[in-house]
Amino acid sequence: MANLDAMSSVETPANQALSQDDQLPGIYLFLKIVEYLILAASIGTVILLFVLGEDRLRIYAAVFTSLFIFLFLTNGQLRQNYQKSAVESKLAQHSELYNYMYTPETDAFSSKASLQLSRKKALKYSMELIEDYKKTRDNSRNIYYVSQIATIILSGVTPILVLLERLDSGSGWLKWLPVLFPALASIVTSIVTSFPFQETWIAANKTVELLEAEQEKFILGITPAYRCYDINDPTQRQQMAKKAIENFISQVNNIHLKQLQQGGSEQLETEKKEENKSASPVA
């Protein structure tokens, strides 16, 4: 237990880079808040200028607008510099992680620290894929549901609008609604049929479940590919732990690549069906 506590407290450059990858500098966040405040002040000053029409407000509006443009450009440059340094930090982290994986087995403390760092990086990689697929799943599902509801509403309202147009022929804009709503329903239906939102949602949800299940197997070590805690020899246990990390990364990549290949094949099949429909002669 003491070894685990000491291992978790190890601070290496790679550990620091791993923990600071997603943290924006404080000065950037502060300037971003100031930028939003100045933007709000600029908009408020412009509104007051149109309402009151005082010349003094013109000066305030010009000053606030100039400050907003300056902060906008400054924050953009700061974010660009931060992203560049973050990429360099990740490259250094990956290089150091490669060296840690080949720590001599005689140095037990360094070996445990390197294994912890490698497991942390592997789990972070899988979590990034899971979050990305979750975002794809949620977006595709929401678009599919909203488009289906919109199609039902637009199609159901059309007969009512036709009846209203016949009862009240005096309103010119009412005559266009029975034509506009079916056109919108047709556009929404075409978008849904052209882009496989439902298939993308189902496939992404399946991939999320597979990745989460594989991650739990790796964390708990409940399969032979990830089980190393029941080995008595420390050297063999460390080698098996490294092999478990390799197996986990390979399995995660296989799940990810399989999903990409399925998505590409489904897109090709959809394109072929559309080409066949367009090429078929009209009876």
* Cα–Cα dist 122/73, whole Å: 37
What string of pLDDT tens digits covers the 283 residues of the chain?
333 333 334 444 444 444 444 455 678 788 888 889 999 988 988 888 888 877 888 888 889 889 999 988 988 888 888 878 877 776 666 555 555 555 555 455 456 777 788 888 888 889 999 999 999 999 999 999 998 898 888 888 878 777 776 766 656 666 777 778 888 888 888 888 888 888 889 999 999 999 999 999 998 888 888 887 777 887 888 888 888 888 999 999 999 999 888 866 666 666 666 566 555 544 4
Domain of residue 57: give its range. 11-100
* Cα–Cα dist 158/178, whole Å: 6
Reported as type and span, the H/E element at residue 51 is helix 26-52
**How many domains in the chain?**
1
CA 64 to chain centre: 34
Contact at 8 Å (CB) between 17 and 91?
no
Residue 227 sits at φ, ψ, to 5 deg, of -85, 120
* Cα–Cα dist 156/165, whole Å: 15
Task: Report if residue 15 sits inside a domain.
Answer: yes
Largest CA distance in the chain: 93
Task: Report if residue 176 sits inside a domain.
Answer: no
Task: Report if residue 64 sits inside a domain.
Answer: yes
